[in-house]
Structure 1
Amino acid sequence: MTDRERFEVEALGRVIGGRVEPTDDYWGGTQAIIQLDDGRFTSDATKGLEEFSHLEVVFRFHLTDPADLNLGARRPRDNPDWPEVGVFGHRNMRRLNWLGVSRCRLVKVDGLDLHVEGLDAVDGTPVLEVKPWFAEMGPRGEVRQPGWVGEMLGDYYAPGEE
């Protein structure tokens, strides 16, 4: 691997509030704040963001045990009814770079505090990037996925108990 393939990333903020433990389901209605670093950003950084309904957020799975890394194939949620799938066929935290990507609803912008709903990251999570969701950047053409995905994620954004 060359130096061009390796780089460092700095958190631009943190998740405040919401869940304290990552769980597999029931993220619907979860309210949190993405608090951007006021040492680097001013409120100009969020100007115009309130015009968008959704954000795409990149974050670091900071609570994951490094010994839990799995770069091979395994059954989603260890369910014997679902097929073995390689690391790139999953969206979980057992990844080489420990990165998560989530789309969430932007409730309001208050200076450098982005109030969001449905962000599947927990309190204290380092946020690496925030981008407004553009509908034009969504999937083009037919979308397909295996049946186990819908079965597994049926309650992912169902209302939870906070």
Structure 2
Amino acid sequence: MSADDPRPGEVTVVRPAATDAGVHFLGRLHTPWLTRQDCPKRGDPQDGPICRVVVDPPWRAALAGLDRYAEVEILYWMHLARRDLVVQRPRSSGLAHGTFALRSPMRPNPISSSVVVLLAVEPDGLMVRGLDCVDGTPLIDIKPLRCPMAPPAAGRQDD
């Protein structure tokens, strides 16, 4: 049994041949982890490694103003994840759960999100702490964390 084979009790489906929408990858995430097995279950925004978010040239102007925030949300495509599991048995519990009841990267649309500490905005991307994905993971979007409890970056004012 390989690491990609379903575990006993897991259920798969046949994925639709066509898609309903298109997604443009905006860049890549660079982390120290080369395989899914190397990745932490959750990123550590306090003590985790510094990671780089590289934004492709057409999208770099969209970084303007992001330096006003102490934290940002990074949305990314878990490109190595299975997409056909509807019931999963996590190793941690061994109990079967529907995919939508889990935070597993194995999903019909493997979109993941991490709230990270923004360390620096650079001309071609960001330096952050708190990611939990494989090196080279495609970037979908970047959003400032603007909830009332989120602090602005030191010395900056939110609009």
Does TM, scored on the shorter chain, surpass 0.5? yes
* Equivalent position to 1:79, from 72, 93, 99: 93
Contact 1:19 1:30 in 2 (8 A): no
Residue in 2 that maps onto 1:57: 74
Contact 1:55 1:132 in 2 (8 A): yes
Residue in 1 that maps onto 2:10: none
Shift of 1:12: 0.5
Residue in 2 that maps onto 1:90: 102
Unaligned runs of 5+ in 2: 1-15, 151-159
DSSP 3-state at the match of 2:81:
coil
**Residue identity in the other structure for 1:41:** W
Shift of 1:65: 4.3
Contact 2:75 2:114 in 1 (8 A): yes
Contact 2:116 2:131 in 1 (8 A): yes
* Equivalent position to 1:31, from 26, 50, 54: 50
- Distance in 2 between residues matched to 1:86 and 1:37, nearest whole Å: 36
C-alpha RMSD of matched pairs (Å): 2.5
Q: Which ranges of 4 or more aligned residues in structure 1 deviate by more than 3 Å?
A: 24-27
- Distance in 1 between residues matched to 2:41 and 2:59, nearest whole Å: 33
Shift of 1:85: 2.0
Distance 1:103 1:26, change over 3 A: closer
1:10 aligns with 2:24: yes
Contact 1:109 1:115 in 2 (8 A): yes
Residue in 1 that maps onto 2:85: 70
Shift of 1:137: 8.5
**Residue identity in the other structure for 1:59:** Y
Q: Deviations over 1:134-155 (max 9, x none)?
A: 12398xxxxxxxxxxxxxxxxx
1:47 aligns with 2:64: yes
DSSP 3-state at the match of 2:59:
coil
- Distance in 2 between residues matched to 1:19 and 1:31, nearest whole Å: 12
The answer to which structure has the higher helix fraction is: 1
- Distance in 2 between residues matched to 1:24 and 1:101, nearest whole Å: 14
TM-score, normalising length: structure 2: 0.70
- Distance in 2 between residues matched to 1:65 and 1:49, nearest whole Å: 33
* Corresponding residue pairs, total: 129
Shift of 1:26: 6.8
The answer to which structure has the higher strand fraction is: 2
Shift of 1:24: 4.3
Unaligned runs of 5+ in 1: 139-162
- Distance in 2 between residues matched to 1:102 and 1:77, nearest whole Å: 22
